[in-house]
A and B are shown apart, each in its own frame.
Chain A
Amino acid sequence: MTGDAPLLTARDLSKAYGTTRALDGVSLDVRAGEILAVMGPSGSGKSTLMHCLAGIVRPDSGELRYRDRDLIAASDAERSALRRGEFGFVFQFGQLVPELTCLENVALPLRMEGVRRKEAERRAAYWLERLDVADVAGKRPGQASGGQGQRVAIARALVTEPSVVFADEPTGALDSLNGEMVMRLLTECAEQSRTAVVLVTHEPSVAAYSHREIVVRDGRIRTSAGSAR
């Protein structure tokens, strides 16, 4: 793992909202296949860090690169294209489109990239199968359970075969058993496809699925620890 060039490189990132310093000189690398837990209490800056790394929020200062691309200098359109093609997202509440079936939800990122419907749905079906929710393919998200919905959301995040998946409290709305299944499937799939995962969580039992953790407090990184695989 250490031999690879980092996918994401952040140096001295700072971001303020008004007089509040959400990030204060944060530096870190994210490498291919790495599962990095970003921990910290509410309001510590961990979500702002994730949003900066994912190109959703532009930091006020510092350097931020994805491979050889400068994410701070990139235009909104370039950042948007990067988010669609290279990054995947999983949120606390699946945020699936309620009017579409689960299969159509998973196929959606591919359709937005211009992939034809039949091919997009074939690939979506494959990922639903991988996440053990093929049985809800034809159902709307409202007809699936919370755990199933979250696995559909993971299938949607992975369907474009992204380099990095950003997961923000992915088990926050699930009970222990479903949370465990979601984390096991997310990390297994990511490891098999060498997808990096940036896992924002305040739950130690979720962070325990990572390879290493960083702890954010008052916008700064307190520690970086964790074992190599």
Chain B
Amino acid sequence: MSLSHTLLALLERGPRHGYDLKQEFDAQFGQDRPLHYGQVYATLARLLKNGLVEVDAVEHGGGPERKRYAITTAGVTDVEEWLSQPESPALYLHSTLYTKVVLALLTGRDAAAVLDAQRAAHLDLMRTLTRRKTRGDLADALICDHAIFHLEADLRWLELTSARLDRLAEEVRS
């Protein structure tokens, strides 16, 4: 999963401090592994350097100054490209796909299109493996089968998620 794209997409919903960004990330995606503050600030520094976010306010309180970050136009384009590009089909992609679907819903994009693009990429690889399997020897067939069954599991997840998009949208936006 790309942390910089995820934080960028969360910022698209409105400017935030690093602290709020970490809280929001943990609430949506941090079930197993909450983010460390160090990761958030290092990522924001990189995004700032690349012109994908900017500092839109600095608060001077009693403690250290607090910067509020906002996404730039280049940042929005970057999120758009990342969401529309299917992941290269590999095993155990589900966390990246889940993140993309949730972010598409949060940023008002077509989450079904994210799933459709991924399904097409997965089926294309299955097609290649199926062709290789029918033309190869038994060893080849067994190797291809292993990969095909794993892709099939991903595809089932894609199908089920497609059917549950409305409910997921309600939950992540609440």
Indicate if B122 sits at the interface (CB-CB under 8 A). yes
Indicate if B72 sits at the interface (CB-CB under 8 A). no
The residues of B that contact A222 with a CB separation of less than 8 Å are 112, 116
B116 touches A208 (CB 8 A): no
The residues of B that contact A223 with a CB separation of less than 8 Å are 116-117, 119-120
Question: Binary interface profile of B, 6-29, with partner A (CB < 8 Å = 1, else 0)?
Answer: 000000000000000000000000
The complex places the Cα of A184 from the Cα of B151 at a distance, in Å, of 20
Partner of B159, one of A41, A208, A210: A41
Indicate if B148 sits at the interface (CB-CB under 8 A). yes
Total chain A interface residues with beta-carbon distance under 8 A? 17
The complex places the Cα of A205 from the Cα of B147 at a distance, in Å, of 11
B163 touches A41 (CB 8 A): yes
Question: Binary interface profile of B, 112-128, with partner A (CB < 8 Å = 1, else 0)?
Answer: 10001101101110111
Question: Considering only CB atoms, which chain B residue lies closest to A225 in the complex?
Answer: B120
Chain A at the B interface: SS class: mixed
The residues of A that contact B96 with a CB separation of less than 8 Å are none
Chain B at the A interface: SS class: helix
Q: Are A205 and B148 CB-contacts (below 8 A) given A41-B163, A215-B116, A217-B162? A: yes
Indicate if A192 sits at the interface (CB-CB under 8 A). no
The complex places the Cα of A41 from the Cα of B156 at a distance, in Å, of 11
What class of interface size applies to chain B in its complex with A? Answer: 20 to 34
The residues of A that contact B112 with a CB separation of less than 8 Å are 222
A208 touches B120 (CB 8 A): no
Please give the distance in Å from A54's CB to the nearest CB on chain B: 24
Partner of A208, one of B117, B119, B129: B129
Please give the distance in Å from A216's CB to the nearest CB on chain B: 12
Indicate if A18 sits at the interface (CB-CB under 8 A). no
The residues of B that contact A213 with a CB separation of less than 8 Å are 120, 123
B162 touches A225 (CB 8 A): no
B127 touches A227 (CB 8 A): yes
The complex places the Cα of A200 from the Cα of B120 at a distance, in Å, of 17
A207 touches B123 (CB 8 A): yes
Question: Considering only CB atoms, which chain B residue lies closest to A207 in the complex?
Answer: B123
Indicate if A204 sits at the interface (CB-CB under 8 A). yes
Question: Considering only CB atoms, which chain A residue lies closest to B130 in the complex?
Answer: A208
Please give the distance in Å from A119's CB to the nearest CB on chain B: 33
A225 touches B148 (CB 8 A): no
**Interface hits, A179-208 → B, CB 8 Å:** 184, 202, 204-205, 207-208
The residues of A that contact B123 with a CB separation of less than 8 Å are 204, 207-208, 213, 225-226
Indicate if B76 sits at the interface (CB-CB under 8 A). no
The complex places the Cα of A208 from the Cα of B127 at a distance, in Å, of 4
Indicate if A209 sits at the interface (CB-CB under 8 A). yes
**Interface hits, B122-174 → A, CB 8 Å:** 122-124, 126-130, 134, 148, 151-152, 155-156, 159, 162-163
Question: Considering only CB atoms, which chain B residue lies closest to A184 in the complex?
Answer: B134
The complex places the Cα of A29 from the Cα of B95 at a distance, in Å, of 36
Please give the distance in Å from B113's CB to the nearest CB on chain A: 9
A204 touches B120 (CB 8 A): no
Q: Which 9 A-B pairs have the closest CB atoms?
A: A225-B120, A208-B126, A208-B130, A204-B155, A223-B116, A208-B127, A204-B152, A222-B116, A184-B134
Q: What would be 13 A-B contacts, judged by CB atoms less than 8 Å apart?
A: A204-B122, A204-B126, A205-B152, A207-B126, A215-B116, A217-B162, A222-B112, A223-B117, A225-B124, A226-B120, A226-B123, A226-B124, A227-B124
